[in-house]
Amino acid sequence: MKDLFLVKQYVCYGYIQKYTLYSLMEKKLFLKDGNEIKRCDSNKIVEKLFSKDGIYSFPSFCEYIFECKSNADKMIKEQIVPFNFSYLNSEMTFDFLQFKNELAGFVKEGINEILEKII
For residue 33, list its beta bridge partners.
36
Element (H or E) spanning 20, and its range?
Answer: helix 18-28
Q: What is the pLDDT of residues 68-108, one digit of tens each?
A: 888 888 888 888 888 776 665 555 445 445 555 555 554 55
pTM score over 0.75: no
- Residue 104 burial (CB < 10 Å; 0-12/13-18/19+)? exposed
Return the amino acid letter for 66: F
Q: Are 85 and 118 in contact (CB under 8 A)?
A: yes
pLDDT of residue 9: 47
